[in-house]
Amino acid sequence: MELMWRSSHVSGGNAHYVEALYEQYLVDPNEVPDEWRNYFDQLPRPEGSPSYDTPLSPIRDQFYQLARNRRTAQGTAAVDSGENKKQVKVLQLINAYRFRGHQKADIDPLDLRKPVPVPDLDLSFHQLSKADMDSEFQTGSFFLGKDKAPLKEIVEALEQTYCRSIGCEFMHIVDTEEKRWLQQRFESVRSKPKYGNEVRKHVLERLTAAEGLESYLASKYPGTKRFGLEGGESFIPMMDEVIQRAGGYGTKEVVIGMAHRGRLNLLVNILGKSPSELIDEFDGKKVITKGSGDVKYHQGFSSNVMTPGGEVHLALAFNPSHLEIVAPVVEGSVRARQDRRDDTDGDKVLPINVHGDAAFAGQGVVMETFQMSQTRAYKTGGTLHVVINNQVGFTTSHPQDTRSTEYCTDIAKMVQAPIFHVNGDDPDAVLHAAQVAIDYRQQFHKDVVIDLVCYRRRGHNEADEPSGTQPMMYQKIKSHKSSRELYAARLVEEGVLSEDDAKALVEQYREDLLAGNHVANALVKQPNTELFVDWNPYLGHEWSGDFDTSFDMKRMQQLATRMCEIPDGVQVQRQVAKIYEDRRKMQAGGMALNWGFAETLAYATLLDEGHPIRITGQDSGRGTFSHRHAVVHNQKDGTTYVPLEHIREGQPRFTIRDSYLSEEAVLAFEYGYATTMPNALIVWEAQFGDFFNGAQVVVDQFISSGESKWGRLCGLTMLLPHGYEGQGPEHSSARLERFLQLCAEHNMQVCVPTTPAQIFHLLRRQVIRPLRKPLVIMSPKSLLRHKEATSTLEELANGRFQMVLEDQGKLDASKVKRVVLCAGKVYYDLAAYRAENEREDTAVLRVEQLYPFPKDELFEAIKDYTNLEQVVWCQEEPLNQGAWYQSQHHMRVVADMFKEGLGRELKFAGRPASAAPAAGYMSVHVEQQRQLVEDAFNA
């Protein structure tokens, strides 16, 4: 037994090996060596029939204990001798190859990978020797096609399977069925299926296309940035196979995210973008009619291709230069498509994320994206990840500088994704890896990774000279034949085609390119438009903030009743019961409406009108401040009941989910979802507003600029709790100023609603108005329960969202000398001050929408104050934050509209400039708040 624990993969904490043996033993005790059988016989049996599916956790625990403490293991089993001992060693050797064969595999086309010593793969490590090579041993679970074989044959098969062009990593997977499945797929064909001549000719044709495009662009536009694929051409036949195979499974849509390298090649050779269109872009002929546009290697594209299973819609996501951030956007877009199709397993829509090696290892959002892959709110039935691994970091850096892990793909192990490292110069192996990956995804609905190990024939881009920083690598690359040349030579040698045939492929591609023909051979010229959403109803609308959002009162009351109903079997917790009791009173007219009621009713009315709703965020079910309780937890059994899922028969989907603790990936996901599902209300809610700063890249690169760069509309709503209530620097401000600074060209809406009726109409406006613009809401905290912040059912049924709320006091307009403008909860402090101090000379107006700034509406609100002398902007935020610097020019314009020169006199009342958003001490907060309110009236 001592020896059993000596081999590194067993004693190194790897209990999986023992586990596999144990499972084998459960199926047939005679299949495992005596030594192990004796040991397993001593273990407690799992309950029920000991079979393949038997839950193993108690036993597993034992193995982990054993693996951790070798001493304990010594002597627990009888020590066997002779042949049986060797048999055990052979089985250990087989598993050693499964665990570590990849470290010896020939996966680097440049042969620069420094071999690491892998003692486990030496016969001597297992006390075997050349003298045993002719002895026959049982093959155990090794898929050799026979139960017994000479050691020589076993070792040869192991070498072929695990140490040629594919390095497989899957032994980190705990699930035995998955492991067996993968072992079978690789071992049964020695990781190299025999492909027919037609298949291989097709692969060569696609490789030729990949190379042909790059060489054409290189000769026509030398030195122009295009992030060419040269060195990684196998990517194209691989993607072709992935899409065709997925189509064969009945997949209807494939959404792809990728960074720069190889993007133009994918666009032309797989998605079927017209080469002449691309060439026009290179020639600078493309004219932008609207927005800023974007560089060609950020562009997305859509098309349909034909596959064995019918037409498949392809969508390449637009993406910014921030590598990897597009990954969760793709997931969101895929989930929206799956939800639209009621495809709960993810069989109909496939996400593919293509990564660079350095970014995959370096960017945190990769981990966040893996983390979402099996959660209820974000799962998409498994993503195919492809790493185009150039073996050089972003521009010049060495792998030693770009990561601490052995492979750039190690992060994928956290979700137990299988990883296939494959040599890009062996297109047959690449094809096999692609097929296994898609089959695995369809079978297990989990993520899977293909690490396409290749190189970069040129520098980071075509203007770079790479040998300055990578001399040794580029000496090698200079004399290294291309993947196409190598493959063509191999096929010629094997008699698959003649040299002339191979040349003809090159010429044919060049001719097609010059003639401007489409070169993606499966492209459907008349695409079936039913495969994707029709965005026409949402296109071409100019900005307008005024929209009728009223709702039939009778129906609203019915809905209100419905959403307060909780079935008898659900035992509601005391405080939650009180909230529902109050809502019933509000519905019956016995109590003023609060925020939670109005917000919930907005959702109910939208659902009733046929709009799906999706709300996610860290505490969305309950609401960070417990105002929502859209999900009721049964105190008896922990089950949940969601009243909004029971509005009416055949209602649209209502999804409300607490997110995992991410902002970046989660917000990007919702952006992807919202840009794919135009008829729905999509809400992301921050736990506290300032947490969005963890997702700043999503706000900058997508939400605020996506329409301008790519013409992609997005109706995403962000709820960001904001307000100065003495909670300190972290949870007071949602950094309003950051959003306002990004506002231009009517790109998004920034609103600060202060009454239940306002949130009701604002949420409704966002969906029923056909315009699709991101909506940023500074949502309240204390206002959720403020006794003045209430509305009536009539205000909900009849009103609309008011961008400016006029003064609510009964003022004599002619007596008003000062107008205080404000946004958000400070209004209630100002109103209280005015009432207390009987300041009839001052009107307090709320600007409920800060962008697009409602100039006309504000002018309407002040124009009757004929004796107005002064306008003050009051905010809770410090001088350098909030709306002051970003919005004062709009206020000055309106003041000047009223009286020339009044704008120049616009005054500020707020906290002094501050590095942090708010004071950490309650006493300071209170004093500042008192002062700024007083300043508004007296400055």
Q: What residue ranges bind ligand AMP (CB under 6 A)?
A: 302, 313, 315, 532, 535, 675, 712-714
Please give the single-letter amino acid code of residue 83.
E
* Residue 88 vs 315, nearer CB to ligand AMP: 315
Residue among 490, 503, 405, 421 at smallest CA distance from 454: 421
Measured over the CA atoms of residue 44, residue 49, residue 52 and residue 53, the dihedral's sign is negative
Our CB check for ligand AMP shows the closer of 255 and 366 to be 255
Tokens of 635: 């105190």
- Of 534 and 864, CB closest to ligand AMP: 534
Q: How far apart are CA 142 and CA 125, in angstroms?
A: 20
Q: Cβ 299 to ligand AMP, closest distance in Å?
A: 12
Q: How far is the CB of 669 from ligand AMP (least distance, A)?
A: 15
Residue 535 C-beta: closest distance to ligand AMP, Å: 4
For residues 698 and 356, the answer to whether their CB atoms sit within 8 Å is no
* Least separation in angstroms between CB 337 and ligand AMP: 7
What backbone phi and psi angles, to 5 degrees, belong to 655?
-120, 125
Rounded to whole angstroms, the Cα distance separating 861 from 475 reads 73
| Nearer to ligand AMP among residue 267 and residue 714 (C-beta) | 714
Task: Write down the least CB distance from residue 263 to ligand AMP, Å.
Answer: 16
- If the CB atoms of residues 302 and 618 are measured against ligand AMP, the closer one turns out to be 302
As measured in angstroms, the least distance from the Cβ of 338 to ligand AMP is: 13
Sheet of 804-805, strands arranged across: 804-805, 842-847, 818-822, 870-878, 907-911
Name the residue among 419, 332, 366 with its Cα closest to residue 259: 366
Is residue 755 within 8 A of residue 824, CB to CB? The reply is no
Which distant-in-sequence residues (6+ apart) come within 8 Å of 87 by Cβ? 33, 137, 138
**Nearer to ligand AMP among residue 453 and residue 713 (C-beta):** 713
Gap between the Cα atoms of 76 and 80, Å rounded: 12
- Least Å distance, CB 714 to ligand AMP, is 6
Strand partners, 822: 846, 874
Closest contact distance (angstroms) between CB of 704 and ligand AMP is 15
Gap between the Cα atoms of 903 and 17, Å rounded: 77
Q: Which two tokens stand for residue 612?
A: 């799906």
Tokens 């209004």 belong to: 827
Q: Are 326 and 259 in contact (CB under 8 A)?
A: yes
Q: Which is nearer to ligand AMP, 564 or 713 (CB)?
A: 713
Give the pairing of strands 613-617 and 654-658.
parallel
**Is the separation of the CB atoms in 258 and 354 below 8 Å?**
yes
- In what side-by-side order are the strands of the sheet with 749-751? 654-658, 613-617, 681-685, 717-721, 775-779, 749-751, 849-851
Nearest to 793 by CA among 558, 548, 545: 558
Burial class (CB in 10 A: 0-12, 13-18, 19+), 770: middle
From the CB of 713, what's the least distance to ligand AMP, in Å? 4
Min CB(533)–ligand AMP separation in Å: 6
* Min separation Cβ 710 and ligand AMP, Å: 8
Q: Pick the closer one to ligand AMP by CB: 327 or 844.
A: 327
Q: Which two tokens stand for residue 530?
A: 């039913």
User: What tokens appear for 503 in the block?
Assistant: 């040349």
In the complex with ligand AMP, the residue whose CB is nearer, 361 or 776, is 776
Instruction: Quote the least distance from Cβ 701 to ligand AMP, whole Å.
Output: 15
Report how far residue 751's alpha carbon sits from residue 771's, in angstroms, rounded to the nearest whole number: 16
CB of 241 to ligand AMP, least distance (A): 21
**534 or 794, CB closer to ligand AMP?**
534
Structure tokens at 387: 């790493």
- Check residue 445 and give left, alpha or beta (phi > 0: left; psi -120 to 50: alpha): left
Which residue bears the tokens 């989907």? 653
Query: Which position's Cβ is nearest ligand AMP?
Result: 302
**Residue 218, number of CB atoms within 10 A of its CB:** 17
Residue with Cβ nearer ligand AMP (363 or 380): 380
| Cβ-based nearer residue to ligand AMP, 714 or 743 | 714
Q: Whole-angstrom Cα distance, residue 722 to residue 735?
A: 8
Sign of the C-alpha dihedral computed for residues 871, 876, 877 and 880 taken in this order: positive
Q: Are 754 and 827 in contact (CB under 8 A)?
A: yes
How far are the Cα atoms of 18, 829, 867, 933 from residue 938, in angstroms, in the given order? 79, 15, 17, 9
CA-based radius of gyration for the chain: 33
- Give the residue with the Cβ less far from ligand AMP, 315 or 387: 315
Among residues 524, 522, 521, 435, the alpha carbon closest in space to that of 249 is found at 435
**Considering the complex, what minimum distance in angstroms separates the CB of residue 706 from ligand AMP?**
8
CA–CA gap between residue 927 and residue 912 (Å, rounded): 12
Residue 440 or residue 532: which is nearer to ligand AMP going by CB?
532
For ligand AMP, the closer of residues 675 and 717 by Cβ is: 675
CA angle, 144 then 147 then 149, to 5°: 70
Closer residue to ligand AMP in complex, CB, 337/629: 337
Question: Taking the complex as a whole, how short is the minimal distance between the CB of residue 341 and ligand AMP, in angstroms?
Answer: 12
Query: CA 821, CA 910: separation in Å to the nearest integer?
Result: 12
Question: Which strand (E) or helix (H) includes residue 316?
Answer: strand 310-316
Shortest spacing between CB 349 and ligand AMP, in angstroms? 10
β pairing state of 775-779 and 717-721 = parallel
CB of 540 to ligand AMP, least distance (A): 10
Which lies closer to ligand AMP via its Cβ, residue 171 or residue 315?
315
Between 62 and 676, name the residue whose CB sits nearer to ligand AMP: 676
